[in-house]
Structure 1
C-alpha cells in the first residue's frame, strides 16, 4: 500500500482503527477522569457500533482498500525481538513510578499476545503486583500519528494516560514493514513537547492546519511545523483554539466535508478573530503572518471560497449540545461523502439544507456493499451511524480513524 495522504477528503484507501476491546470494561468510574473518559462504556454495544461503522468504510472504499486493526499490527511487530526490546526499554524509561525495571526481563520473554494484554489492559497473567491502568483511548487511533503526504508525524501524547499509545505507535513506525516507506520521513516529537493527530488537518500537499489545543503544545506545534516545511509543505496554519476538554483537538470543532465545505462549531471557529498564524519558510528561517480568521486564512492560502456549515445549525443551544456529541467531528470517506453520529440531527438537517443527501449507515451499506462505490464530483452524501456507546468516550468518526492512504484529488 502506498502510504500517502494529501488531503482530508481524498477517496479512502487505507485506514487504521481499533475496535473497542476489554480495556474499556476495565475503566473504573473513580478513575474515568484520569483516563480521559467522561463516562463508562458498555463494551459489547460499543464493539457492535464500531464494527457497523467499519462496514460503511468497507462499502465506500475501493476493492483493494484496507481497514487495518492496530492490535494486529502490534502482534506482528512484537514478533521481532528488536521491536519488543525497543518498546519495553521506552516503557520502563517513561513510567519510572511503576518500577517496571524490576520485571523488564520478564516482559522481554512474554509472547506478543501477553505483552499486548499488559500494555492495553494493564495486567500480567503470572506476575502479581505489577499493574497499569487500562488504555481505553486506543479506540481513538487518529491521535497516534498523522500521515501528511509521504511523511508521518508520530504523535507524543500530552497526557500520561495516552503515553503508552505513543510508544506503541513509535515502535510500529520504527519496525513494522507497513511504515517502511515513510520511516525516513518520520517527524518525531520528544521530551515535554506534545502533538496529537486530532490537531493535524491536511488541506493539500502544500497546506496543513495544526491546532494549538489542550493536547498540542506550542513547542510541539513548532516542531511539527518545522518537519513539515522541510518535507514539501509550503504553509502551516496554526490555529489557536480554547484549551478545554470540550474542544480538546481542532477536529472536535472543525473538519472538512469536501474541497470547499467544512463543518464548524461557530463559537470556537466562526466567531473567533486573529487566532490564526500562517507559518512558512523564508530561506532557513520560519516566518509568520497573522490572519484575521480561519476562513480568511483558508481562502487566502488556497484561492478558493469556503462554506462553513454550522455544527448544530442556527440554534445556540443545539450548537453546544451537538459539538459535545461530536457533531463537528465528521469523517470524509471521499469528497462530499461524510460520516457522523446520527444523534446530531440538527447538524445533519443543516447538511441537507446545504445540498447533502442523508443516508443511514444501513441504507449506504445495502446500496454499495455488493458493487463498487465510485464517488462523483456532484455527489454529496451525509451518512449517519449509531454511536450511543462510542460517543461516551468523547470522540467521533474522525477521532476513531487514522487514514494512511487516500487517492489524490484530481483538479
Structure 2
C-alpha cells in the first residue's frame, strides 16, 4: 500500500501511482472521435476544498463544490474510461514524477510559482528555499493545492516579518500560493494537435500556472522525454517564452477552443478566452511542419455560458456533432490556409461551421444533434454541459446523466451514450470533454 497523503487518506490517485508503467509514450491526437488511447485527468482534491462562497468567483467557479462527492464522481468517470481500455494518467502524480526525475524541473517549478510578481520581493528567497526542501509528492500537492501561511514549516515568521512587508500583511490563513482548482479541466492547459502540443497562454490569471505545471510533465517526465513530438506553441516548449508576469499582453488561447477534427484540419473557437493573434501563431507552426493545411476559425459571442467552443459543439461521430443552435447560428466562420510566406495566410469566410467541417472532412454533411428539450430545458442542459461530451471512439460518448433530453436525442441518432453523475463535477462549468486532455488518439479511417 502506498504512503498516505498528509491528510492520512490513500486516494484513488495514490492507488494509480502503483500501476504506472514507465514505458515511453508516443503522443499524437489525430481526430476528435478516433479511438482514445491515453488521456490526462486531474482528480478533485485540496484545491477544490479551498473554494469558499467568498473566493469562488476569484477562482472562476459559480458555486462551492462538495469535494468528496466530486471525487467519487470523478473516480467513476475514470473507471468507465479504463473499462474501455483508455490509459488514464493523473496530472498531479505525473507532476510529482517529473519533479523527482529532474532537478531542472524542480527549479523551474519553484521559480515560476515564487517570484517577485507572485509573492513580493522580500519573500522570494525564503519561500523558494522552503519549497525546494519538500519531497516531490508534497511539492506537487502544494503547486496544485496552494499553500497557506500557517502551513509553512521551519520558517521563523517573527524574524521574517521584521524584513518583509508581505509577511507583515499576510494572514496565517491566507494564501501564500493560491490553489489551482480549475486543474480538473485538463483540456484547457494544453492541446495536442496531430504530432505536437500547444502550451497556451490562458486568459485568466487564476489559471496561468496550470500551463507551467503541465509543461513540466511534457518536458521532464520519463514517459515523455524520449518520445518524438513537437511544441507548436511556444516553439521551443520553454515557458520562458511567456513568463507569468507577461501573460497579460492581450494574446490568449485555451484548449477547450481547440479541436483537431482530422484530415489535416483544426477547428478553433474565438470567444471569451481565445484570440485571433494566438490562432495565427498555432496555424503558422502547423502549416510550416505540414501537419495541418486548414484551420477553421469560429468567432463566438463572449459569454460565460459558452466560454469555449466545446461548450456548444463537440464531435460524437466522424460525421456528427452536438450543437447549441443559438450560438452556432450566430457564428462568423473563416478558413485559414497557408499563404505564400510563413507570416501570411489565405483567409476565406465560410457560410457556416457545419458546412466548413463537412468540406474539410470530405462528407456530404455533418449530422447535428441539438441540445434537447423545450427552450427552458435546452437552456438548462446547455448550462449543465450537455454539449460537452467526450468521444471514446466513433459513435460512443461519455455524458452527464442529468442531461436527459440531450442524451435521448443522441441515442435516437445512433450514438452510444455512457452516463456518469456530474452534480458536483459540473459546478466549474465543464463536462467530460473539459475534464480530459487526450494524449494519444487515433485518426478516423
Q: What range describes the TM-score normalised by the shorter chain of this pair?
A: 0.7 to 0.9
Partners of 2:180 and 2:427 in 1: how far apart? 15
Q: Secondary structure at the match of 2:54?
A: helix
Q: Tell me, yes or no, if the aligned pair for 1:200 and 1:211 is still in contact at 8 Å.
A: yes
Say whether residues 1:279 and 2:341 are aligned partners.
no
Unmatched tracts of structure 2, length 5 or more: 1-24, 158-166, 168-174, 235-240
Q: Which residue of 1 aligns with 2:96?
A: 75
Q: Tell me, yes or no, if the aligned pair for 2:262 and 2:361 is still in contact at 8 Å.
A: no
Say whether residues 1:212 and 2:270 are aligned partners.
yes
Give the CA deviation at 1:114: 2.7
CA-to-partner distance for each residue in 1:53-85, whole Å, 9 max, x for gaps?
Answer: 111101112xxx411111111111111211111
Q: Tell me, yes or no, if the aligned pair for 1:148 and 1:205 is still in contact at 8 Å.
A: no
Give the CA deviation at 1:118: 2.2
Say whether residues 1:163 and 2:187 are aligned partners.
no
Give the CA deviation at 1:289: 0.6
Give the CA deviation at 1:2: 2.2
Give the CA deviation at 1:97: 5.0
Bigger drift between 329-338 and 153-162 goes to 153-162
List aligned pairs for 1:19-168, cutoff 5 A. Answer: 19-61=43-85, 65-79=86-100, 80-93=102-115, 95-99=117-121, 100-102=123-125, 103-123=127-147, 124-126=151-153, 127=155, 129=167, 131-168=176-213
Q: Tell me, yes or no, if the aligned pair for 1:147 and 1:153 is still in contact at 8 Å.
A: yes
Q: Which residue of 1 aligns with 2:421?
A: 386
Partners of 2:340 and 2:398 in 1: how far apart? 41
Q: Secondary structure at the match of 1:141?
A: coil
CA-to-partner distance for each residue in 1:316-344, whole Å, 9 max, x for gaps?
Answer: 22221111000000000110000110111
CA-to-partner distance for each residue in 1:214-243, whole Å, 9 max, x for gaps?
Answer: 111222222222222223200000111121
Give the CA deviation at 1:183: 5.0
Give the CA deviation at 1:187: 1.9
Partners of 1:212 and 1:230 in 2: how far apart? 22
Q: Which residue of 2 aligns with 1:396?
A: 431
Among 223, 246, 249, the alignment partner of 2:305 is 246
CA-to-partner distance for each residue in 1:155-209, whole Å, 9 max, x for gaps?
Answer: 2211111111111012222222333335543422734321111111111150010
Partners of 1:94 and 1:253 in 2: how far apart? 39
* TM-score, normalisation: structure 2: 0.81
Q: Secondary structure at the match of 2:283?
A: helix
CA-to-partner distance for each residue in 1:237-290, whole Å, 9 max, x for gaps?
Answer: 011112111111110111000001000011001x225x1110110222212111
Say whether residues 1:198 and 2:256 are aligned partners.
yes
Among 297, 300, 313, the alignment partner of 2:356 is 297
Q: Secondary structure at the match of 2:301?
A: coil
Partners of 1:214 and 1:345 in 2: how far apart? 28
Unmatched tracts of structure 1, length 5 or more: 357-380
Q: 1:290 to 1:40 in 2, by over 3 A?
A: same
Q: Which residue of 1 aligns with 2:16?
A: none
Q: Tell me, yes or no, if the aligned pair for 1:151 and 1:187 is still in contact at 8 Å.
A: no
- The size of the alignment, in residue pairs, is 380
Partners of 2:280 and 2:301 in 1: how far apart? 18
Partners of 1:141 and 1:310 in 2: how far apart? 26
Partners of 2:232 and 2:104 in 1: how far apart? 19
Q: 1:307 to 1:214 in 2, by over 3 A?
A: same
Q: Which residue of 1 aligns with 2:172?
A: none
Give the CA deviation at 1:211: 0.8
Q: CA RMSD in A?
A: 1.8
List aligned pairs for 1:308-327, cutoff 5 A. Answer: 308-313=368-373, 315-327=374-386
